[in-house]
Structure 1
Amino acid sequence: MKSKDKTANYKPAVDREKDLKLAIYRIENGRAHNKETKVTIAAVAREAGVSTALIHNHYPAVAEAIREKQGRSSRAMRDVKHQDLIAERQKSTGYRQEIEELKAKLASIASINEVLLEENSVLKAKLKDRSVVELVSAQPRR
């Protein structure tokens, strides 16, 4: 009885990386053995006969090359997110400034309101002190 050597499926990293790059090349040129047409990590893994985890965990440069071919490189995505962050920070600064302006206006309106309330109470007190007779308008004749 022959026992299978467990190391028979293992290739040196250099050879495995060549296999992955060849798989990318075959897919790009329409020569894939398994009819893959789009360069994705999953497609390259299938074409090379490995798992996607192997590419992600042991060949990050190959994974990045695949993402670049898809237009999704981590560097490009990071740059886009950084630009979005800068834009959001600018909006946030504008909102904070607007909030401060609105707080100042609110304080001013509250102050004016207090003055008007005080004037109203003074006028009401003056009305009570005087013997003012309220005139009731007569009903118009028909």
Structure 2
Amino acid sequence: MSDPKARSRKNTVDEIQQAIAQVQAGQGKVSISAVAKLAGVTPALIHNTYPDLAEKIRGLVGKATRTQRDAKHDALVREREINRALRQELAESRADLAKLASVNQVLLNEVALLKGVATGKVVSILQLKGAGV
């Protein structure tokens, strides 16, 4: 009599391959442990009895890791470019601010002078020359 829990090698391979597909489709973390749990076998069984499937899973893990690394690198490059543009904009804004502050100070001085001339507290040199003094 055969053990009712006994599996055929072909059934086990099929179950492991189905588990690999399910883990990939589920967007979960691909690992030998996750596949083994889903297939109802031990990770050691996959490592020792089905090294070709273990290598396939390791390849998927590497691909997933590479994909994540590349995505993070691309995001970092984009953020650095945004940062560079913002720094340039900040430098231009600071230059504009300094220029406007200078123009503003000149205008404030001119307004003060004109107020003084209008109230008679300040005498314009140009008016004195015209009066023949």
Report the TM range for the smaller structure's normalisation. Answer: 0.5 to 0.7
Name the counterpart of 1:92: 83
Pick the structure with more helix per residue.
Answer: 2
When normalised by structure 1's length, the TM-score is 0.52
1:54-82: CA deviations, max 9, x gaps?
x9xxxx977643436xxx61111101111
Name the counterpart of 2:127: none
Local SS of the residue matching 1:49: coil
Q: Any stretches of 5+ residues in structure 2 without a counterpart? A: 1-10, 24-29, 48-53, 122-133
How much does 1:127 deviate? 1.0
When normalised by structure 2's length, the TM-score is 0.55
What amino acid is the match of 2:71?
A: V
Kept after mapping to 2: 8 A contact 1:67/1:74: yes
Residues 1:75 and 2:66 are matched in the alignment: yes
What amino acid is the match of 1:121?
A: A
2:111 to 107, 113, 120: 120
Distance 1:99 1:90 in 2: 14
Runs of 4+ aligned residues of structure 1 deviating over 6 Å after TM superposition are none
Relative distance call for 1:81 and 1:127 in structure 2 (3 A) is same
Kept after mapping to 2: 8 A contact 1:24/1:44: no
Q: Any stretches of 5+ residues in structure 1 without a counterpart? A: 1-21, 131-142
Larger mean CA deviation between 37-46 and 93-102 belongs to: 37-46
Identity of aligned residues (%): 32
Local SS of the residue matching 1:38: helix
Residues 1:49 and 2:46 are matched in the alignment: no
What amino acid is the match of 1:87?
A: R
1:1-34: CA deviations, max 9, x gaps?
xxxxxxxxxxxxxxxxxxxxx9675343x4x6xx
Q: Give RMSD over aligned pairs.
A: 3.3
